[in-house]
Chains A and B, each alone.
Chain A
Amino acid sequence: MTRLAVPKTYKLYIGGRFPRSESGRSYEVTTPDGAFLANASLASRKDARDAVVAARAAVAAWSGATAYNRGQVLYRVAELLEGRAEQFAAEIRDAEGVSAAAARAQVDAAVDTWVWYAGWCDKYAQVAGSGNPVAGPFFNISVPEATGVVAIVAPQESAGASLLGLVAVVAPALVAGNAVVVIADRAHPLSAIGLAEVMATSDVPGGVVNVLTGSPAEIAPWLASHADVNALDLAGAGALDWVPLVVAAAATLKRVQDPEPGVPGWSLQRILATTETKTVWHTKALL
């Protein structure tokens, strides 16, 4: 007699908690062969707005943490990902229908991506900032910092990259201290919730990463037009009618990244895309 398995309930991740969709809706997630895997929460407009509220509340502490601290916290995520690599690999194998070796390779790549970005926390400002030799008695420095709340459409239909695609867009946005609301791959949302569990048990403060599962076509417009969202990363929105999302984002001059095919590579530019450069002038005494 074999033991009867205990399946997991997959919910949303908002403000450090795991609520079901307030709409009470869910959708079926299957293997590529159509076998039932789970009922994922079908996030609603209200869930998206709750996620933005949670993200906004998290910005001050996360962006105000020292860069060294943020780097350690993000590195800790990589540590926990690594520790649960077998579980992620098994989940990916089922959900994407790939080989065990391919699934494990994807998890390894996700961990390495996370480590790469973690190491940028206390360096990107040195590389992208500047001391400015102005023609006058002033100390003058330009430094990038977080823009605030970043809404992301993770790569979709990312067979072979359901975890890696998510990490490739979430990690860079966290480096500077932004808080994130991410819409996971609709077809392969389970590893996104797995990642949320890693966040919840690492030292990432609640609200810094918020994960919505469901339909990007339904949720993204609410995030694109939300006045308390500072930046919109449409990496995975290529198959959506995405130009209206950019138009909606223009109402509050959001910083927008256009869709990108596949999984975005490691990129300092992706970090800087959700930062603002602040220039501070201070008078110098004339001695």
Chain B
Amino acid sequence: MSFLEYAPAPESTAILHLRDEYGLFIDGAWTEGRGATFPTISPATEKRIATISSADATDVDRAVAAARRAYEKTWSRMPGGDRGKYLFRIARLLQERAREFAVAESLDNGKPIKESRDVDIPLVAAWFFYYAGWADKLDYAGLGAAPRALGVAAQVIPWNFPLLMLAWKIAPALAAGNTVVLKPAETTPLTALLFAEVVQQADLPPGVVNILTGAGDTGQALVEHPGVDKVAFTGSTAVGRQIARAVAGTGKKVTLELGGKAANIVFDDAPIDEAVEGIVDGIFFNQGHVCCAGSRLLVQENVHDEVVERLKTRMATLRLGDPLDKNTDIGAINSAEQLERIRALSAAGEEEGAERWSAPCVIPDTGFWFAPTIFDNVSTSSRIAREEIFGPVLSILTFRTPGEAIAKANNTPYGLSAGIWSDKGAKILAVADRLRAGVVWANAFNRFDPASPFGGYKESGYGREGGRHGLGAYLTTGPSKGGA
């Protein structure tokens, strides 16, 4: 056994008390969906975890009606302080059940337990804790006099950070006084369903939070429902466009957090070891299933060889395998479909002449896996430099001057995030000024915090989540629409 080999240290699933079948959570109670059921599986083993209900248009109607009743009868009339207390309760319940949620998340999503345990679930609790405190302070949010809730929020979230995206959506919505109908992703419904249990334990009034499972058509029915006042979506730019079209002229307020193709810029004066860690965090965190992933490495030409060599050395130490193993760095790709997409784009990269290198690692026999991979000598016009791969695949490009780095970084229809690595503060700030991206990490990457606004420029969507800005996405100071 070499020093890099570790004995297996899997987290036990005994902590979970899952049901075999889950219904929809509407109006504070479990109910069967009218659509066809589907299984949710572990992407690491392809084994079924539970059977999940599917909501059809009638179920969506019922959920929106329940949310509307809850909004009008209780939630919008409740003092902000009481709404806050409910959210504090939820934050505490999530902390108490953190280990269970981490295991469920890694089981259903395939992400390494060290990430769900140390990043996802702690941030989920933090998100509720942060927004809980806002609930009775809306007048101080700097949004104008007497801000008001919007009403019923339709929220559709992706599979890459299932419970964290739920928290990003539900916490600010509830703090602001809205009620919600949330649809988790088809492949990762489990933690949202466990969250419904937390909602019950917190004794939240029925209908304030409704969870509908299902596929894309359920999400579409939800965002297009005329009873909805706010739409919040995180996912692909393609679906974001459809939503923007569907809500045109309806007056629904919209937040879209969409795709990205972030540049991670490494200058020759960067602390190289830290930069290499940052590159790894940027693209291999969560198997690269991150909208803000640093998927384009822009490295200054004179340090290219050194950076790539050290990056390969570091990548060779990444451990790919059982997501529940505490030593695992790279978990499973979330679905067969996503794996196919990653493979197809990687093949395109090779066809277009980029040099492919993958970390040497043993791929398990079952499940969906993709070894951490880099492409060197990528041209700016290459598909792997332009399209979001949403997997552990890094495209490496070079630059000579800061101006060239900025031009290449901004040469994308996306504008979600960017990274800058340099020891020169003045250079970092000047480059950050000129990057067209909503989040810029300097000598860091993939950091998130409930107090810090997150969201994109251009085709990465609009609106911000997190901080005071994220609260504003669920409030209005405009004239009342009449009625409730």
Q: Which residues of B contact A277 (CB under 8 A)?
A: 438, 453, 455, 464, 469
State how many angstroms separate the Cβ of A85 from the closest Cβ of chain B.
Answer: 32
Q: Which residues of B contact A21 (CB under 8 A)?
A: none
Are B142 and A276 interface neighbours, CB within 8 A?
no
Report if A142-B467 is in contact (Cβ < 8 Å); known contacts: A130-B453, A132-B452: yes
Q: Which residues of A contact B458 (CB under 8 A)?
A: 230, 252-253
Cβ contacts A256-270/B at 8 Å (1 or 0 each) = 001000000000110
B143's nearest neighbour on chain A, judged by CB, is A269
A251 to B258, CA, bound (A): 13
Are A133 and B451 interface neighbours, CB within 8 A?
yes
Q: Does A134 contact B (CB under 8 A)?
A: yes
Query: How many contacts between A and B, using CB within 8 angstroms?
Result: 110
Report if A253-B452 is in contact (Cβ < 8 Å); known contacts: A247-B245, A278-B438, A283-B442: no
Are B449 and A283 interface neighbours, CB within 8 A?
no
Are A253 and B462 interface neighbours, CB within 8 A?
yes
Cβ contacts A162-180/B at 8 Å (1 or 0 each) = 0000000000000000000
Q: Does A281 contact B (CB under 8 A)?
A: yes
Q: Of B181-189, B198-206, B248-256, which binds chain A? A: B248-256
Report if A279-B440 is in contact (Cβ < 8 Å); known contacts: A130-B467, A253-B237: yes
Are B142 and A127 interface neighbours, CB within 8 A?
yes
Q: Does A136 contact B (CB under 8 A)?
A: yes
State how many angstroms separate the Cβ of B448 from the closest Cβ of chain A.
Answer: 9
A280 to B432, CA, bound (A): 7
Are B440 and A280 interface neighbours, CB within 8 A?
yes
Are A246 and B453 interface neighbours, CB within 8 A?
no
Are B442 and A282 interface neighbours, CB within 8 A?
yes
A63 to B126, CA, bound (A): 36
Q: Which residues of B contact A138 (CB under 8 A)?
A: 444, 447
Q: Which of B256, B425, B438 contacts A279 (CB 8 A)?
A: B438
Are B428 and A250 interface neighbours, CB within 8 A?
no
State how many angstroms separate the Cβ of A101 from the closest Cβ of chain B.
Answer: 31
Are A250 and B244 interface neighbours, CB within 8 A?
yes
Are A282 and B249 interface neighbours, CB within 8 A?
no
State how many angstroms separate the Cβ of B271 from the closest Cβ of chain A.
Answer: 10
Are A132 and B245 interface neighbours, CB within 8 A?
no
Interface residues on A, range: 35 or more
A229 to B3, CA, bound (A): 56
Are A250 and B248 interface neighbours, CB within 8 A?
yes
Report if A132-B249 is in contact (Cβ < 8 Å); known contacts: A127-B142, A278-B437, A283-B444: no
Are A242 and B249 interface neighbours, CB within 8 A?
yes
Cβ contacts B273-286/A at 8 Å (1 or 0 each) = 00000000000000
Interface residues on B, range: 35 or more
Cβ contacts A107-135/B at 8 Å (1 or 0 each) = 00000000000000000000110101111
Q: Does A70 contact B (CB under 8 A)?
A: no
- Chain B residues 429 to 456 lying within 8 A of chain A, measured CB to CB, are 429, 432, 435-444, 447, 449, 451-455
B457's nearest neighbour on chain A, judged by CB, is A276
Q: Does A147 contact B (CB under 8 A)?
A: yes
B419's nearest neighbour on chain A, judged by CB, is A281
State how many angstroms separate the Cβ of B246 from the closest Cβ of chain A.
Answer: 9
Q: Does A100 contact B (CB under 8 A)?
A: no
Are A281 and B453 interface neighbours, CB within 8 A?
no
Q: Which residues of A contact B460 (CB under 8 A)?
A: 253
Q: Does B33 contact A (CB under 8 A)?
A: no
Are B451 and A132 interface neighbours, CB within 8 A?
yes
Q: Does B353 contact A (CB under 8 A)?
A: no
Q: Which residues of B contact A247 (CB under 8 A)?
A: 245, 248
B241's nearest neighbour on chain A, judged by CB, is A250
Are A253 and B241 interface neighbours, CB within 8 A?
yes
Q: Which residues of A contact B439 (CB under 8 A)?
A: 278-281
Are B454 and A253 interface neighbours, CB within 8 A?
no
Q: Which residues of A contact B144 (CB under 8 A)?
A: 268-269
Q: Which residues of B contact A269 (CB under 8 A)?
A: 144, 477
A124 to B144, CA, bound (A): 13
B258's nearest neighbour on chain A, judged by CB, is A253
Q: Does B172 contact A (CB under 8 A)?
A: no
A136 to B240, CA, bound (A): 32
Q: Does B459 contact A (CB under 8 A)?
A: yes
Q: Does A140 contact B (CB under 8 A)?
A: yes
Q: Does A35 contact B (CB under 8 A)?
A: no
Q: Does A243 contact B (CB under 8 A)?
A: yes
Q: Does A255 contact B (CB under 8 A)?
A: yes
Q: Which residues of A contact B438 (CB under 8 A)?
A: 276-279
4 smallest CB-CB distances across A and B, nearest first, come from A250-B244, A243-B249, A246-B248, A134-B449
9 A-B pairs with C-beta separation under 8 A: A130-B467, A142-B453, A242-B249, A243-B248, A253-B240, A268-B144, A278-B438, A281-B442, A282-B442
Residues of B at under 8 Å CB distance from A? 126, 142, 144, 237, 240-241, 244-245, 248-249, 251, 256, 258, 413, 415, 425, 428-429, 432, 435-444, 447, 449, 451-455, 457-462, 464, 467-469, 477
Q: A135-B451, A230-B458, A281-B441 are in contact. List 8 more A-B contacts (CB 8 A).
A: A134-B447, A134-B449, A138-B447, A140-B451, A253-B241, A280-B442, A281-B440, A281-B444
Residues of A at under 8 Å CB distance from B? 127-128, 130, 132-136, 138, 140, 142, 147, 230, 242-244, 246-247, 249-253, 255, 258, 268-269, 276-283
